Amino acid sequence: MKFIHSLFFSLLLTASAVQAQRDETAPATLPKLKAGEAVATFAGGCFWAQEEGFDQLRGVRDVISGYSGGNVPNPTYQQVGTDQTGHAESVQVYYDPKVISYAELLTAFFAGHDPTTLNRQGPDRGRDYRSVAFYRTAAEKQAILAAIQRVNASKQYPNPVVTEVVPFSVFYPAEMYHQNYCKLHPDQSYIQSVSLPKVEKLRHAMQGKLKKEGM
């Protein structure tokens, strides 16, 4: 009887582990837009740093990591990584425009990654790491173009901006294990050496607009 109980308990643990793994690899659920909120979508290299950076801004309620700009429905991380789906690692930002404007989000976007490197960010190479600003309205498109002009004129970077300016089509949320990755894995070597320096660049550019200043 003890053997049967032990076997049954082991099977339960195995089933729980399998279910937990399935939950982690399932796509995240997109939040519902609240009254008065707006949504913006950007791609600027690995979405871990982009998500963490935008999430630190006052007026931003939620940020979801995912995929946009491609031609394959509901892609997986592995598929996007092959560079065959056309998607870029992206983030979708849910924000209150009364607290933070779209133009200010663009300032954060261009500060939080290098928009002058074509199809790469640091050690990450491929079209899935390209820089893209997706616009939903004509006003957003003009705001993006104006921001690019400002960045180029400022000589903030030694080379011109190569960010794609693309109409928004669809955003697919990434798997659950990618969400809040920086917060959950702060000591990981990639997070320490690649992601957090990008977050710090964004924080430096957005002083006065951070949820927690002086961190």
Instruction: Give me the residue label for tokens 């049954």.
Output: 8
Which residues fall within 8 angstroms of residue 28, CB to CB, at 6 or more apart? 64, 65, 66, 173, 174, 175, 176, 178, 179
Instruction: Identify the active-site residue in 46, 91, 144, 194.
Output: 46
Amino acid at 181: Y
Burial 51-87 (b: 16+ CB within 10 A, else e): bbbbbbbbbbebbbbbbbbbeeeebbbebbeeeebeb
185 three-state secondary structure:
coil
Is residue 46 part of the annotated active site? The answer reads: yes
Radius of gyration of the chain (CA): 19
Q: Which residues are catalytic?
A: 46
